[in-house]
Amino acid sequence: MDLFHYRKNELYCENVPVRRIAATTGTPTFVYSLGTALMHYQRLLEAFDGHEVQICYSVKANGNLALLAALARAGCGFDIVSAGELYRVRRAGGKARDVVFAGVGKTADEMEQAIRAGIGMFNIESWSEAKLLDRTASKLGRRVRAAFRLNPDVDAHTHAHVTTGRKDNKFGLPIEEAEDLFARARRSLRQIEIMGVHMHIGSQITEVAPYTKALARALAAIRRLRARGHEIRTLNLGGGLGIVYHRERPSTAKEFAAAILPLLRGQNLRLLIEPGRFVVGNAGILVTRVIYLKETPSRTFVIVDSGMNDLIRPSLYDAYHEVVPLALRASRGPRRRVDIVGPICESADFLAKDRLMPIPKPDQLVAVRSAGAFGFVMSSNYNGRPRAAEVLVDGGRFWTVRRRETHADLVRGETVPEAILRGRRRS
């Protein structure tokens, strides 16, 4: 599952003791195992062995430049949702033509940047967007390729906040309107070649059934579209493959491929997938230091130097992240039920609730596991907290690939108007 393991009672990331990293960078720090991320990417490739599939890693899960650079060099494409993510991909040496661009709110400016860069495909999420993309491409004198993102109305059996394929979600276009949509596109879009169908039904999906259900609906729509003369060449199934945080038993890459490949046989469709969490989720931990223990008549709080501004998933989705000590020996003792909380002034600021574990002592280091996806990318400066450092480990080597922010970073871009400095007067 990942390359974090104990050696002589001490937590290692690949061949590096995590304690050594913490001694270098301080805490809180995200530590990524490159070997784990590449292993998951390879597993997907192998699962689809022999079938044409383009893997477009979903940058939103973790956009760290060093990780993106390593994935680009391994031949991976990218799924983006903003011009900012496109900038990252290009800075990391990713090829624009291997980029697909989704999202319900692309602006004309973002479209323009993506067209100029020459991205592979837009995933269009509304008719208004299709019209704006057509106008923008026309202004630049370019033709672009696109797919319509269809919403199949299936239940992905995942958390409500990360479900995207139900008819009440803001994503995609209703699948039952596909024929109408493609017909309208043929009539009125001049600069867009609509070449496929895109879908993404949710995230942290642990079963294959929602995928096969959505795929069956997509294939039925594609059959109807082809019967009307539309050339459909690609099918993008999106991301969403679940990982183990706690006791989940997610289907494996092999099981996923084995379930969908038979349905695609003979369909003459190029397959794209956009995994994010599957690649990086288990490849990262958040290392944090215990500051205080605080006992109240009803609870035991372990107060650490990292909080919801670093990892918001527990607060936002009630997500479970395992918390383990860096040194096993130091943490032996009777187990108690504790809440692991941060320094943020919010009751929602917790990393773990009701966790049965030996009580860690002040100064002890612990790791919050499976923090590689939607960890750093969702972090903020709330409560005036500089964002954490990021470290990449590869075998026995490690590098700080993003330095911890400083207090100067906190105010970067802010100015105090002269008039305020002089003392405010009524104008």
Residues near ligand LLP (CB under 6 A) are 58, 60-61, 79, 102, 162, 200, 203-204, 238-241, 274-278, 313, 317, 373-374
Q: Is 345 a catalytic residue?
A: yes
Of 191, 174, 190, the closest CA to residue 126 belongs to: 174
d(CA 186, CA 163): 31
Residue 29 and residue 375 in contact, taking contact as beta carbons nearer than 8 Å: no
Q: How far apart are CA 256 and CA 251, in angstroms?
A: 6
CB of 108 to ligand LLP, least distance (A): 21
Rounded distance between C-alpha atoms, residue 31 and residue 50, angstroms = 34
Catalytic-role residue among 13, 56, 76, 345: 345
**9 or 252: whose CB is closer to ligand LLP?**
252
Q: Which is nearer to ligand LLP, 56 or 144 (CB)?
A: 56
C-alpha–C-alpha distance, residues 141 and 274, integer Å: 29
Q: Give the helix/strand (H/E) hosting 353.
A: strand 350-358
CA atoms within 13 A on the CB side of 109: 3
CB contact at 8 A, 88 and 64: no
CA distances from 27 to 173, 279, 285, 381 (A): 44, 24, 12, 15
- The nearer residue to ligand LLP, 31 or 102, going by C-beta atoms, is 102
What's the longest Cα–Cα distance across the chain?
Answer: 75
107 bridge partner residues? none
Least distance between ligand LLP and beta carbon 160 (Å): 11
Query: Shortest distance, CB of residue 292 to ligand LLP, whole angstroms?
Result: 28
Q: Which is nearer to ligand LLP, 12 or 148 (CB)?
A: 148
On whether the CB atoms of residues 273 and 235 are closer than 8 A, the answer is no
Cis peptide bond N-terminal to 210, omega within 30? no
CB of 210 to ligand LLP, least distance (A): 12
Nearer to ligand LLP, 295 or 318 (CB): 318
Whole-number Cα distances in Å, 293 to 302, 327, 361? 5, 18, 7
Q: 44 or 366, CB closer to ligand LLP? A: 44
CB of 125 to ligand LLP, least distance (A): 9
* Cβ proximity to ligand LLP, 58 vs 82, nearer residue: 58
Q: Which CB sits closer to ligand LLP, 281 or 342? A: 281
- C-alpha–C-alpha distance, residues 217 and 152, integer Å: 7
**What is the pairing mode between strands 300-304 and 335-341?**
parallel
- Take residue 202 and report the two structure tokens written for it: 């949710």
Q: How far is the C-alpha of 44 from the C-alpha of 253, rounded, in Å?
A: 5
The token pair that represents 154 in the structure block? 């299936």
CB of 22 closer than 8 Å to CB of 29: yes
Give catalytic residue positions: 345
